[in-house]
A = this chain, B = another copy of it.
C-alpha cells in the first residue's frame, strides 16, 4: 500500500539517498514497480535523528505527493543524519491528513508500516480498546498503522521490540479471526529507538510485501570499482527498503518472508519471526 526507506550508518546528507538514486523513495512515490499499487501519492513523511544524538528526531509530514514537494527537497539537502526514515503513502482508506502520515513518533521512537490490518473498520474498536488508556489520547489519525504502533507500545515495544511486535500482531490476528477475517495482517514494519533498527516482514497469508536490505558496502565496492557514488558511504552504511533504489545487480538482497531484520552497531542480521505470546 506504501513504500518505505531506512538508512543507518555514518552521518550522510539525506538527499544522497532520498533524492538522487534512480529509484529513490521519492521516485517510488510516482512509480514503484514492486508495490501493491504503483502510485504512492497520498502524503509522505520523513523522520531523522540529529548528528549529535541530542534531542528528539525531526519529523516532517505532508499531505501532498512526495514527487514534486519543494519542502522535502530542501530538507533532504539540508539535513545530515546517521539514521533516517522516509515513507510514501498509498492510502487504502482516506482521509489524507498529516496525522495519517508515517513515520509515527513516540518520544525518541519512530515507527512506519507498509501493508494493513484487514477489515480495519470491523476490528478497529476492539484493537483500540486494548491500547493503554494513557497512550489512547496520543492517537491522532485514522490509520491501522498508528493503532498497531500504540498496541506495540502497550505491549512493551521499548523494552523488547521483537517480542512486542510479535505480541501486537498476534493480538491483531486473534481479534481478526474473532471477526471472521481470514488473513488479518499484512505488511512490513520498521521501528527504531534512534540507535538500532528493527524491520519486520510478515503476513497472515504468508505472502508479504517486498522488503530488501543493501549489500555490504565493501562488497559492493569490490563488485563495482568504477561506481564513484559508492565512495559517499561509510563501511557500516546500510539501507532497508520496500524495493531496490537502483538497478545495480547484487546491490539489494531480499529480507526473507516471516523474518525480522536488525541493523545495529554489529551490522545487519535477520532471524525468523512469527506472531506469538498475545
Contacts and interface: CB of A to CB of B under 8 A. Distances in A.
Contacts of A77: 55-56, 58
Contacts of A64: 63-64, 96
A57 interface: yes
Interface in A23-39: 30-31, 38-39
A167 to B, nearest CB: 21
A45 to B, nearest CB: 10
A50 interface: yes
Contacts of A50: 78, 80
A110 B222 CA distance: 43
A75 B60 contact: yes
State the number of copies, please: 4
B41 A58 contact: no
B70 A98 contact: yes
Contacts of A80: 50, 52
Interface in A58-96: 58-65, 67-71, 74-75, 77-80, 91, 94-96
B97 A74 contact: no
Interface string A229-257: 00000000000000000000000000000
Interface of A: 13, 30-31, 38-39, 41-42, 48, 50, 52, 55-65, 67-71, 74-75, 77-80, 91, 94-99, 121, 124-125, 129, 133, 136-137, 140, 142
